[in-house]
Each structure stands twice: as C-alpha cells, then as structure tokens.
Structure 1
Amino acid sequence: MPFSAETRSKRRVSCPEVNWFNDQAPFSHVVFKMQLQSLSPENDIVPRKSLTITTDPFSLLSDQLLLHILSKLPYSHHTTTSLVCKRWMHLHGRLVQSVKLVDWDFLESGRLICRFPNLTDIDLVRACVRLPNNSAIWLSHKFLSIQLDSRFLSGGFVSGDDLLPPDVIDEGLRIVAEGCPNLRKLVLIGASEKGLSSVATECLTLQELELHYCTDLSLRGISGCQNLQILKLIGSVRELYNSVISDIGLTILAQGCRRLVKLELCGCEGSYDGIKAIGQCCQMLEELTLCDHRMDGGWLSALSFCGNLKTLKLQSCKSIDASPGSDQHLGSCPTLETLHLQRCQMRDKQSTRALFLVCEAVREIVLQDCWGLEDETFGIATICRRLKSLSLEGCSLLTVEGLDSVVHSWKELQRLRVVSCNNIKDSEVTPALATLFSVLKELKWRPDSRSLLSSSLGETGMGKKGGKFFKRA
C-alpha cells in the first residue's frame, strides 16, 4: 500500500528520532558514580582472599618452625610425612642422620648429599658389593647382609672382583667427605688408603669407623683420624671373604689412632708385637674385643701393656692362645673389670689358666655357650679372687659340684646368674650353696631349662600318656 508524503511526516512526528550519543549527561552521571565507589574507604570493601579458605595452613610457618614440629613426631612416621609435599620431603631429608646405602649411583650423582645434608652415620657396605640384586639367595651375617649368586669360591662367597673398583670407592668417599663434614660414624668395605685419607682430612669429628675387607696398607689412611674413638676391623670372615691384617697393620693403627677407647678385631692375624704396640700407643683404650682371631701364640702376655683396659671380650675363638708361655712372663691387667667369653673353645687348660692369670683382677666374668668348660677347667677361675659377679649361660658340662667348689672361694661375690646349664640340677644343690644364695644381692637361677619347662607344664597334663585324654568309647 503506497504512503503519501503527509502520512510519512505524521509518522515521523509520532516517533521522533532521539540521538542518545549526542546527549552525554546520562553517561557522565554513571561514570561519576563509579568514581565515587572506587574512592570509598578500603575498610568498606571485603578482600576476596579473606573469603577463601587457605588450602595449606602450614605455608604460614617458617621452615625452622615446621622442622621443629616434624622432629617431634615418632621416627616411624617420618617416611609418611615426607610424602605430603615437596617442601615436607626436603625438610624430612634434613632430619635424617643415618643411612644404609644400597645404590652406589645415588651417591655418585650427588643426590645422597643433596637429599640428606645432615648425615652423621653412613653405611656403604651393600652399595660397594656388585652381586646380583635379583638373586633369591640372601645371606645374613652379624657383620653384613647381602644377596648372593649360586657360585662359591675357594676363598668365600665374596671376592675382590665382587667389589667396586678401588678408584670408584675412593671417589665416593671423597664425595662423602666433602658433603658430610659432621660425619661421626662410617661403615666401609674394600676401602684403600687414598679414600680413607680423604675422610680423615675432611671429617674431623669422625668418632666411629668400621672397616670390612681391609689390608695392612689401607690402614695408613686412617692415621689422620685424630678423634677416632671406636674402631672395628673385620679382616676375614669364614666362608664369606678373606683379607689379611697382621702386626704391620696393627702397628700402623696404633701409631695413628692414639685416642682409641674401643677396639674390635675380627678375623685378624697378629701376635705379641701387634697387641703390645696397641697397648703402648693407645693408652686410652678401655675395651678390646677379639672375634675369631688368628693370633700367634704368646699374644696374651702383651695385654699387660694395656694399662687402662677395663673390658676384654673373646668371641667365637677356636683357641685362646696356642702357646701362652710360662706364668712368670704373662703379666696382668690391674685395671681390668670385665671378662666376657662367648662361643669360645676352652678345652685347653693351659691357655685357660693363662687367660685367668692375666685377668686375675676382674670383678665380673661372663661365660656364654663356651665349649669344653668342665668342672676342672672352671676351677681355674678361683685365681680371680676379687670377683663380684658371675654369669653362666649354655655351659652344659658344668655340674653343681664344680660350681659349689668355685663359688665359695669368692668372698666378695654379690651377683650370680646361671641359665641353661642343663647338667646343673636343682636337686643337687647343697645346703651351703643354698645359704650362699640367700645372701646374694642378685640371683637368677634357671639352670635346667628342661626341668623348668616340665614343672611349669606339670599341672596342665601335657607330656603324659595320651590314654588320659583319649579314652575308648
């Protein structure tokens, strides 16, 4: 339908055209309002952060405070807490002070020192042995635990070829020495003089050292350990590995480590000269342990040079002294307080007598699982007249008669312990021995384990004929 000009003009009036963009008043008013809001006090505005709950409240704590809190947790929880986040893992590494290394690459790459910067106790034995880790054969010994393959060599399960090369071990010891200056205890195997020298130079606080599979010449490296107090040398272990430590090594050791307080020699060779050098140079030595020793005859008389020795321990020794010599040349240890024999062969009465003569001043004797300890041999112990404490365990050849004759000679005896000596019977205890028991300060009397078991089960009816329990219908 066509429109006329008059119609178009009327429509234009009824719906007038308004130019909103030319009129700036409304927009100026809005902008002014926004400016007023932006100039309002900060207290009137609630920050957005305050409306959200903090996801990690421990982030407000300093590392030092959080480290103090984590240190109060039980040791069994340390591994779990270290898995919370990277920060906690880093802090956990600062709490760890003792490590037994399994993977040598972890040390060589520097990750060990980075992960645990405050280590004071490191055991590197398992990491130094290159035996297969996927073997199903696991050897556990009191000195070490390793995985083995099925082969067996004439010298033992572990040979020199099974260890890491000496230069590799030396480099690892250099990393340890530079990264752990506060190291106090170190356990090694197959270390050379160079590697031990780096440890002695850098770790001035080193107090305890355990060396496996070492030789005489390697001991020159620890001569710089001026503060070393506890040393354990494992030269040879039967059916496991063989190495030689002789009088040469013992003399080097004595001249370099003069502050030794505790010395343990396992599977070491030597003689009178080596023990004498230790006694003359290590004047602070208080405890000496010989385990499965291969000493030449006559070494017992050298103990008299240990002027401050308080404890003497013999463990797993097939022979105490093959040729102790005459009584006039034995000497004695006047400061000795404790004599401990464990799993030792005591059938040789001459060497046993020589041992008790050297240790005549002892106040305590411990005899545990010793072979050949009969009444006559045990009677030699009456030489030790100042004895105050006696412990017998696993001495199956001793009888009440042998015990009675010896115990009454010790006028100062205060403590007696008799355990698992199956040849000693309660029924054979004499009235005089019973009277002695009544005046002791401490008594542990459990000699016959079989009679003790039968008496404790007597009321239960166990061990009797089955006819009491099973009757025919």
Structure 2
Amino acid sequence: MGQASSAAACALGADHEHEEQEEDEGEGGAGGVGGRFSGLDLTAFAPDECLAAVFQKLEPADRRRCSLVSKRWRRVEGQARQRLSLQAWLEIGPALPALLERFQHVTKLTLKCDRKRGSIDDDALCVIGQRCQQLQKLKLKACKGLTDSGIDRFAQVCGPLQKFSCASCQFGPPGLNSLLQHCANLEDLTVKRLRGFVESSEFVRPGTCSIRRLCLKDLPNAQLLGPLIAGSKNLHTLMLSRVSGNWDRLFEAITVHMTSLIELHMEKVALTDQGLQAVARCTNLQVLYVVKPAECTNKGLSSIANGCPDLRKLHVDGWKNSRVGDEGLATVARKCKDLQELVIIGLNATMSSLSLLASNCLSLERLAICTSDTFGDSELSCIADKCLALKKLCIKGCPISDRGMEALVGGCPSLVKIKVKKCRAVTPASIASLLSNRVSLVVTLDTSAIPVAPEAQCAVQVRPVQDNNITQENAPAPSTRSPLARARFAMAVVACTFMRWSASNGS
C-alpha cells in the first residue's frame, strides 16, 4: 500500500509542502475577512460547486497543493477535475485503481513516459478503460509497454472516446483497427512514430467510427492508412508530415472519394504536379498547406487554383529551389477570389502576380512574404495601394527599404499589425515615422542585424500598445498573494455572500 501511494504521488508530481499559516492569515485567508467572522473557516459555508469553480481557475500545480488542505478540498478537487496528466511509468500500475477512483469524471487523459524507463503495460491500460467511463480524449506518448492486444482490450471497455493520439509506441495497424472498430464515437486520430508500422503489411480500415480529422507524422509505411483515408466519408482535415511512399499514386486512387475534405496539410511529402492535380479533385478544399514540395511547379499550383476555387487559406513554402512563381500565383489570383490568407515562402513573386492578387482578392486580410528576392519597394507600394482589406502583413528576408515602408503611411487603411524581420535596409527611423502617423498600428521590427540609434530604438520599443489602453503609469500592480491565498480569499467572499443571502431570506 505504501508503494502504491508513493507511485501515485510520483505520477501526479504533487508538491507536499504546505503553505505557511502566517501567509494565509496575512494575505486574505478565512480569518482575514474581518469582524465577527474572525477565526471561522468561511470556506466551509461555500457550496461544492463554488469550490470546484475556483479550483478550475487554478494551474495544475496549485490545484494539487489545494487538494492537500483538507479532506473536503481533496474530494471536491478530485470530482471537479476533467483533465489529468500522468507519468505512465511501470510502477504506477498498482496505484491506478485508487488513483482513478478519486478522479472519476476525467474526460481528457495524457499518459507519457520517459524513453529510458519502462511504461505501463496492457493490464494497466485496461484498468484505465474500465475506470474512466467518461473518457473522451486519450494521448499516449512513449508508452513502449503497450501492444496491439492491449489496445484491443482497451477499445472494448473504454467509454465514449472521441480523440486518440499516440506517439513513439510499439503497436501498429492491428491495434488501430481494433480502436476504429469498437470506438464508434472516435472522430480525431493522430498517429506519430509507431514502430508497429515498420514491418507490418496490414491495411488500416475505417471501421464503425466516422473520422473527421486525421494526422500522420514521421510514420513509415503510412500508405497502409489509404483505405482509412478513402473510406472516411466525413474526413474534414488531413495532415501529412514526413511520411514516406509515393503519394502521387495514392492521391490519384483516393481523392475521388474525399468529397468532404476541407483542410489539407502536406509537409515534406513525396509529391509532384501529378499529385497536386489529383488533390485538385477535392473541389470543397478551403485550406491548403504545401511545405517544401521539391518537385512541384507552376503547373501543379495552377491546377489547385482551377480545381479548388473556394480556397480561403493558402500556404506555399517553396524551400530552396522553388519552381513556383508568378504564373502559379497569377492563376490563384484569378480563380480564388475569396482568398483571405496567403503565405508564400521562397517564391519569387513580382509586380505582375501581386498586382493581380491585390485587385482580384478583395477579402485578403493576412499576407506573409518570406525569402523572396523579387519583393522590393515597388511591390510593397503595390500592396499598400490596392490591398484595402489587409489587416496583418509579415515581410521577412526581402529587399525592401525605408522607401517602401513610407508607402504604408497612407496605404492599407485596415492594417493593424505588421512584422518586418531580416530586412537590412529597413531602419527604426522609418518605423518611428510610421508609428507617428498611425498610432494604432502594432509594429514588430527585428533589428538584430543593423545598427540602431538609441533615440530611434526607444521610439520603436517603448511605445505603449494603444489597443489595450494601458500605459506604464496606469497599469495594475502585480498581485503578491500566493495562489492558495487567492483561492481561499475568493471562497471566503463567496461564503459571506451566501450567508448574507440566507440571513435576509430568514428575516
């Protein structure tokens, strides 16, 4: 019993040091409310619901300290906790029944283990599934002791699980198939670095659930999930990052079934224009992230623009040797007129495509241009003159200067925030001039690589943010009370209010 208790305390990371009594009384404790209530624990008059509401406002470490104050605080804190994170070491297994008996209403559970230590086994995971009948979200990280058999046993006894995330575990496709078959409410699935995929040849199929969001990252043989992607009729978001295999052929085979896809993220995926042409068949696509597509050209981006006219967000990271430029961006400007956010990295955009973009995409609110050798003062002036709805602008590593920044003084009337990074020809003096004309504008300037005059630097960095209406003179002083003292004071005030109400009703 002593070993189980120590394991539970170790898993929760509880701090057993009590707050000092002098601090509690001197900083607004129950006895500090004053008058005839001196010496009484006024928190005893507060209902459990109020006590739980206060606990939910605290950080996890402060909640653990509050649970050590009294038996009542411990009971209420355990019943009110919905999120729980445990160090899933092998030693915690015997303590799990008593631990989960206290936290009966947990809906989100995180089990993470150190790679150098043994993790919980299949029996412990089965206990979690039996005890946590309200569990909706489960995250497993580096739980190397779990097998396909353990995932199958858990899936048969767990509650209404909606979100499942696993990373650096040993199980593979058989375990995922059991999960998809028995968890009918599962909607969100994240799979990262599963070693069970290395030598497996079993396909992952949809099962009885309806997956809406699927994330695959650093996964060997990720194409084994092709049937799941194609068979998920309600798939809303698909995220692929560093997954091996020929995705051109897979997309050609499955995109015809992905009619409900709205958001697609692809990072370092073996993809060419052939794959982008297949993606273009997802006519309802609204958000597209293409990061480091080494083999994609203007042809692929143009096919996306022609096939997906409802695009609202487009991120294209061309990496080093990008073959996407003005032609592809011009097609996007002509076809995707509802575009609200555009991020281009490593693409050499010129006046030709940017002018067309500013004229046609009248709803463009967020624009980021990074590492573009052709984006200079003329292009920035074009953006300032024509992008009337633009609210946020980010420029990084581009050959712009103070002359281009001057165009923003009277341009982009809706602009509220601008970031300028690694643009050596932009000085703090031009930023100070911009701020003097547009006081509500928030500007971030990276001046690490250029010499800055002291007076100009102060003008840029010390200016208060006008949106919050807070200056250094009228800013509120930080509180010096401890979290435990603040919690007690809040519950004491609530208790006094309830006592006054009771007295008035009785009279």
Please classify the TM superposition score into its range, dividing by the shorter chain length: 0.5 to 0.7
Matched, 1:233 2:209: no
In 2, are the aligned partners of 1:303 and 1:358 still within 8 Å (CA)? no
Q: 1:220 aligns with which of 204, 209, 225?
A: 204
Q: Distance in 2 between matches of 1:272 and 1:290?
A: 12
Equivalent runs, 1:282-361 vs 2, <5 Å? 282-315=258-291, 317=292, 319=294, 321=296, 331-341=306-316, 344-345=318-319, 347-350=321-324, 353-354=327-328, 357=331, 360-361=335-336
What TM-score, normalized to structure 2? 0.57
Contact 1:375 1:402 in 2 (8 A): no
Residue type at the aligned position of 1:304:
A
Pairwise CA distance, 1:297 = 4.7
Over 3 Å counting, the alpha-carbon distance change for 1:328 and 1:439 in structure 2 is closer
* Alignment map for 1:24-423 (pairs within 5 Å): 66-67=48-49, 69-73=51-55, 74-76=57-59, 77-86=62-71, 88-105=73-90, 109=94, 110-111=96-97, 113-124=100-111, 126-127=112-113, 130-132=115-117, 164=144, 167=147, 170-171=149-150, 174-175=153-154, 178-179=157-158, 181-189=159-167, 190=169, 191-214=171-194, 215=197, 220=204, 223-226=207-210, 228-236=211-219, 243-246=220-223, 248-255=224-231, 257-268=232-243, 269-276=245-252, 279-315=255-291, 317=292, 319=294, 321=296, 331-341=306-316, 344-345=318-319, 347-350=321-324, 353-354=327-328, 357=331, 360-361=335-336, 362-367=338-343, 370-371=345-346, 373-376=347-350, 379-380=352-353, 384=357, 386-387=360-361, 388-389=363-364, 390-392=366-368, 394-395=370-371, 397-401=373-377, 403-404=379-380, 407=383, 414-415=390-391, 417-423=393-399
Residue in 1 that maps onto 2:414: 441
Cα distance in 2 for partners of 1:409, 1:346 equals 30
Larger radius of gyration: 1
Alignment RMSD (CA, Å): 4.4
Q: Deviation digits for residues 41-84 of structure 1, max 9, x if unmatched?
A: xxxxxxxxxxxxx99987898xxx52553133313142222223
Residue type of the alignment partner of 1:299:
G
Q: Report the AA paired with residue 182 of structure 1.
A: P
C-alpha separation between the residues in 2 aligned to 1:325 and 1:454?
42
Q: Is the 8 A contact 1:304 1:358 kept in 2?
A: no
Residue 288 of structure 1 deviates from its aligned partner by: 1.1
Select the structure with the greater relative contact order (CA < 8 A; seq sep ≥ 6). 2
Residue 425 of structure 1 and its aligned partner are, at CA, apart by 0.9
Provide the aligned length of Structure 1 versus Structure 2.
359
Cα deviation, 1:421-455, whole Å, max 9, x if unaligned, reads 4521122468xx569x5353225455466644467
Runs of at least 5 residues in structure 2 that lack an aligned partner in the other structure: 1-38, 119-141, 433-451, 459-507
Q: Deviations over 1:145-170 (max 9, x none)?
A: xxxxxxxxxxxxxxxxx872562x64
- Please, which moves more after superposition, 96-105 or 321-330? 321-330
Supply the AA of the counterpart residue of 2:204. Answer: R
Structure 1 gaps, min length 5: 1-53, 134-161, 237-242, 464-473
**Secondary structure of the equivalent of 1:205?**
coil
Deviations 1:119-151 (A, max 9, x none): 333344x33x64359xxxxxxxxxxxxxxxxxx
Partner of 2:465: none
Correspondent of 2:403 among 421, 427, 433: 427
Q: Distance in 2 between matches of 1:429 and 1:59?
A: 62
SS of the residue corresponding to residue 411 of structure 2 reads helix
